[in-house]
Structure 1
Amino acid sequence: MKNNIILLIMFAVLGTVKAQESANFSHFSSWNSFTPKVNLSEKFYAKSEFHIRRTDFLSVWEQLLIRPSIHYKPNTTFDLSVGYSFIRNYNYAEFSVPIDANEHNIWEQVALSHKEGKYDFNHRFRFEQRFIDNIIASNDSGFAINGTNYANRFRYRFTVSRPLFKISEDKKVSIKCFDEVFLSLDDGLEPIDLNQNWVYLGLSVPLRSNISFGLGYHHIGLTSSNEVFVSEEILATSISLSL
């Protein structure tokens, strides 16, 4: 088990090295999320995500995200879903948006899960239609919102997890690692560039049969609205609730 855990850690660490070497800026944040899930029937469920993302020792807003979705899960392998995301981006650094601005996006998603021994694997494919506030220079206040820009984006996340040890007869602490690639697409849905890359390594701790807590390290390499490359180091916490 020790060798397998080392491989997971190397997978996460190596994914951040190239981004950190080429970054124009480095930044530290705290991302916290709450994800309630409600079963609607045997094969349908509804889920929502609430993300509070702050920086400067939690004193400054970085991003607020709300993401409801409806899922169809016919078996243990396939999960098909559609959803909506509201994203509030804040002006918090010289590489962020120059003024607070919003994004609304609609997305379609396919997730595939399978198990090999003690390892659980998940492949998540998401296609986003993004409506982003258009920020222009303004003589009065420096910047202003003028209409909306439309863009397409494709995301692929590969996740590996496995149990580490038991804390009770029916509860196990697990280690989780994922890498997610964000590709900007043109009008013909051809990839234009690498928009972001996310790497995460953390622990999942069951608190009750329907509540789990996550704690981990999250690294993001992204191209900001000012066309500079940012390496972001994140302490990530999460709470998942199933009703």
Structure 2
Amino acid sequence: MRKVLGFLLLFFALAQMSAQQTGENELGAWYMYFGTNKISKRFSLHTEAQFRYYETTSNFNQLLLRTGLNYHINPNAIATLGYGFIETDGIFQDSPSEANSKENRIFQQFILKNKVWEFLFEHRYRLEQRFIEARDITSDPEIDLSRTEHRARYRIQMTLPLTNTFFLNFYDELFINLQDDLFGQNRLYGALGINITENSSIQFGYLRNQFANAVFDRLQIGFFYNPDLRSVFKKKKVQKSD
């Protein structure tokens, strides 16, 4: 009986150590910037930067830089072709500063918007082609884990204005792998938003990021800035003509 009890205690201790290694029990944070920069009647530029940490202010996890060209079919429909660079440290505990993967990503996206009473809905459909360069720095750096993966994502987002300044924002996003296991992850998000100016806002939120074998809790601070750059482009054209 003592041997069985000892084995069970050892098993649960190892399981707890494994959970800690992934950072699953830690409250992490994502600090984010998003921009939609209008350059003409139909076109705008998407700009984005995200800094993700296993803990709220330390222990780097991921850097994500993304940009794209948006085509505004109408005020409620937007098509995007874009590119992203992602650098990831997949080890929770302090490790060499060398990140263990770098990714170049191409994506295609389509957004549909609609309004129901006071609720603003947004449906985002995205396809991603992921070119991942990776090595296992924990055991053998010579082992090449580079690969190409394809993924589909669908996000439904709902925004509820409270006043001219404050609003609530919620979304749920499903990630579907187009190879191997179908389920990739699911992100459930809720936030309080504040309109700073006519074209800028900030959101303070919480994200529950669920994978097949782990769930991560993340605080989020997102800054959104959507300037109209058409006047800048007009000035440049005028200067060239002069």
User: TM-score, with normalisation over the residues of structure 1?
Assistant: 0.77
1:143 to 2:136 alignment:
no
1:163 to 2:161 alignment:
yes
- Matched residues in 1 for 2:144 and 2:199: separation? 44
- Matched residues in 1 for 2:75 and 2:137: separation? 50
Work out whether residues 26 and 230 of structure 1, in 8 Å CA contact, stay in contact via their aligned partners in 2. Answer: no
CA displacement, residues 120-156 of structure 1 (integer Å, 9 cap, x when unaligned)? 1111000000111243579xx6334627301100000
The 1:145/1:113 distance shift into structure 2, 3 A limit, reads farther
Structure 2 equivalent of residue 240 of structure 1: 224
- Matched residues in 1 for 2:55 and 2:92: separation? 10
Structure 2 equivalent of residue 181 of structure 1: 174
Structure 2 equivalent of residue 9 of structure 1: none
- Matched residues in 1 for 2:47 and 2:56: separation? 26
* 1:26 alignment partner, SS class: coil
CA displacement, residues 216-241 of structure 1 (integer Å, 9 cap, x when unaligned)? 11110124xxxxx2211011001111
Work out whether residues 60 and 92 of structure 1, in 8 Å CA contact, stay in contact via their aligned partners in 2. Answer: no
What percent of counterpart residues are identical? 26
- Matched residues in 1 for 2:199 and 2:71: separation? 20
1:207 to 2:200 alignment:
no
Residue 241 of structure 1 aligns with an amino acid whose one-letter code is: Y
Structure 1 equivalent of residue 152 of structure 2: 154
**RMSD after superposition:** 2.3
Work out whether residues 31 and 220 of structure 2, in 8 Å CA contact, stay in contact via their aligned partners in 1. Answer: yes
Work out whether residues 208 and 217 of structure 2, in 8 Å CA contact, stay in contact via their aligned partners in 1. Answer: yes
- Which gives a bigger RCO, structure 1 or 2 (Cα 8 Å, sep 6+)? 1
Aligned counterpart in structure 2 of residue 218 of structure 1, from 207, 217, 227: 207
CA displacement, residues 25-44 of structure 1 (integer Å, 9 cap, x when unaligned)? 43421101012321110111
Q: Considering only CA atoms, is the larger Rg found in Structure 1 or Structure 2? A: 2
1:172 to 2:165 alignment:
yes
User: TM-score, with normalisation over the residues of structure 2?
Assistant: 0.77
The 1:145/1:114 distance shift into structure 2, 3 A limit, reads farther
- Matched residues in 1 for 2:39 and 2:151: separation? 29
- Matched residues in 2 for 1:178 and 1:164: separation? 17
- Matched residues in 2 for 1:113 and 1:32: separation? 25
Residue 144 of structure 2 aligns with an amino acid whose one-letter code is: N
Greater fraction of residues in strand: 1
In structure 2, stretches of 5+ residues that fail to align are 1-18, 228-242
- Matched residues in 1 for 2:99 and 2:32: separation? 24
Q: How does 1:129-140 map to 2 (within 5 A)?
A: 129-136=129-136
Work out whether residues 79 and 111 of structure 2, in 8 Å CA contact, stay in contact via their aligned partners in 1. Answer: yes
Q: How does 1:117-132 map to 2 (within 5 A)?
A: 117-132=117-132
Residue 170 of structure 2 aligns with an amino acid whose one-letter code is: C
Deviation at 1:56, TM superposition (A): 2.8
Residue 211 of structure 1 aligns with an amino acid whose one-letter code is: S
Work out whether residues 197 and 221 of structure 1, in 8 Å CA contact, stay in contact via their aligned partners in 2. Answer: yes
Q: Kindly report structure 1 stretches of 4+ aligned residues shifted beyond 3 Å.
A: 24-27
Deviation at 1:242, TM superposition (A): 1.5
CA displacement, residues 46-70 of structure 1 (integer Å, 9 cap, x when unaligned)? 0111001113341211100000011
Greater fraction of residues in helix: 2
1:88 to 2:77 alignment:
no
Q: Aligned pairs, how many? A: 203
- Matched residues in 1 for 2:216 and 2:172: separation? 15
